[in-house]
Amino acid sequence: MNLGAQLQEQINSIWKKFTKGQKATILITVLLFLIIVLTMLFLRQPKMEVLYSGLSPENASALTTKLKESKIPYQLVDEGKTILVNAEDKYQLRLDMAGEVNLKGVVGFESFNETRFGETDTDKRVKYLIALQGELTRTIENLSAVESAKVHIVLPEKSLFVRDEKETTASVLLRLKPYASLKPEQVKSIMAFVSHSVEGLKPENVTVMDVNGNLLSEDLMDDLLGGSTRATMNQLALKKQYENEISRSVQSMLEKILGTGKAVVRASVAMDFDQIETHSERYEEPFIISEQIKEESSSGTSQSPGGNPADANMLGPSYGDTGVGTNEHELTETLRNYEAGKITEKRVVAPGKITNISLSVLLDGELTPEEEAGIRQVVADAAGVNTDRGDQVSLVVMPFNADETTRLAEELAKRESFERRMAYLRTLRGPLLAVLFLGVGIYLFRRMREAALEKERYLAQQAEISAASDAAPEVMLSLSPEAKARKAIKEQVEALVKKSPEEVAKIIKTWLSED
């Protein structure tokens, strides 16, 4: 029998001596020990963070070679484009690698550290231009939203005549990080930075675009020039902001129904930026503001010559009779002052009134006519479409080519999920360890207490047995003769049962059958 078989047999023999409770205790203890060890190993693993991402195969190869030479642990993810290292060493490694590895293949002013014999002025000029472009590229790549950049500068030849000189121009190509964007202020900063870094370069001669062909500097050209175009730029910014707001609102609603990436919405808004000011005056019905009434009355008697008054015109003397009469006089004067209410209204219509909305919606997949009509109505209501002013909604359903979008979404989702899990584990690391150690401590305490109680019970039983054995002779002396006889017979029967249990069983069966 070999040594392995002997060892296994010894282990089996020892294992068989344990009771079921002891076996369960041993297994649970070993399992808890393994859990604690594995948990500690997992928690002691270094936190890995991104050293560099978006690397080309050449740059990744150069970096991994340097890391291997320095015996620094690393991980390759994202199809070898991203290198992860210990979070504590990340920043120091970036500094070390920046001095040893040209990650982006960009040449800066360090090229002037080496001089070649026989360089011409043209060679130096080209060398300076390449170095300047490299330095600008490195600086722009420090922006958080920029993954990589490329700067091209055109320096025209000097001319003897001012009218023949051409202006210096520059172009900046940007590759933005997934789901990142640049604000207009950031694009303006890039244009100003490049223009102030190159002699004779004006900000309006700097063009900034991304790898998708979007001209980022188009809306900022006139703003840099200033003057009357600033108001136009503000109007265009307001128009674009409103269009983006409508597009985001409708697209987010459709993605809730169809799924993320299943809808594309673009809005075009026509706005009236004319400021209209109107003045109007209108009068209300006149009303009395004051009234004055004057009344006069008088009465009395008077004497007057009699006769016909016409006789007075006749020649010759007149001899008429005189008479007595009554004279009454009444006068009423009313003076009223009227005033008409005058309302003067000044109305200013602020610029920015929407005159038309055109909405284009692309949906991925297939829809029934009823579903398409329902979505069209929902989109129109959400965007505030008014058919009376000629607003339109164009809806097209067709399959999307979403390979790149899917890849970016999956990559972003994986990264966010991994970061959430790691953050969750880091948050729960302390409480989990505390609960685990507390559980193990409680379990071991209970097992130790049970073992102590079992030991106490065992010792108590042994003490009772020992006391009974010591007291047996005294008990025998105190028994009566009949009790002693019964005890002796009982002991003989017990000895016979232990010695020959089969014969005793046969005797008992015989007794039972006789009864």
Distance of CA 93 to the CA centre of its chain: 30
**Band (172; pLDDT cuts 50, 70, 90):** very high
pTM: 0.35
Instruction: Assess contact for 195 and 201: CB atoms under 8 A.
Output: yes
CA 99 to chain centre: 36
Does the pLDDT at position 471 exceed 70? no
pLDDT digits (tens, 9 = 90+) for 53-70: 767 777 788 888 888 888
Three-state SS for 433? helix
Lowest mean pLDDT among 17-26, 96-105, 129-138, 466-475: 466-475
- Residues, the chain: 515
Residue given tokens 């859990």 in the structure block: 35
pLDDT at 360: 92
The pLDDT mean for the chain works out to: 77
Residues 6+ apart with CB under 8 A from 119: 127
Helical H segments across 369-500, by residue range:
369-383, 403-478, 481-499
Residue 170 has pLDDT above 90, yes or no: yes
Beta bridge partners of 322: 305
Query: What is the distance between the alpha carbons of residues 22 and 68, in angstroms, rounded to a whole number?
Result: 50
Q: Which residues contact 489 (CB under 8 A, 6 or more apart)?
A: none
Residue 28, pLDDT score = 82
Say which residue, 12 or 221, is predicted with more confidence.
Answer: 12
Please, what is the angle between helix 57-69 and helix 90-100, to 10°?
A: 110
3-state SS assignment for residue 128: helix
Residues above pLDDT 90, as percent of the chain: 6
Integer Cα distance of 60 and 57 in angstroms: 5
Written as six digits, the tokens of 202 are 């004006």
- Predicted pLDDT at 100: 61
Rounded Cα distance, 47 and 90, in Å? 10
**For residue 470, what are the CA distances in angstroms to 183, 463, 466, 513?**
100, 10, 6, 42
Question: How confident is the model at residue 314, as a pLDDT?
Answer: 47
Q: What's the confidence (pLDDT) of residue 319?
A: 47
Ranges 91-95, 126-130, 175-179, 483-487: which has the least confidence: 483-487
Q: Of residues 332 and 220, which shows the higher confidence score?
A: 332
Residue 331 reports pLDDT greater than 70: yes
Is the confidence at residue 1, as pLDDT, over 90?
no
Whether the pLDDT of residue 269 is over 60: the answer is yes
88-109 pLDDT, tens digit per residue, is 787 888 777 766 655 555 555 5
- Among 35-44, 60-69, 250-259, 417-426, whose mean pLDDT is lowest? 35-44
Phi, psi (degrees; rounded to nearest 5) at 152:
-120, 130
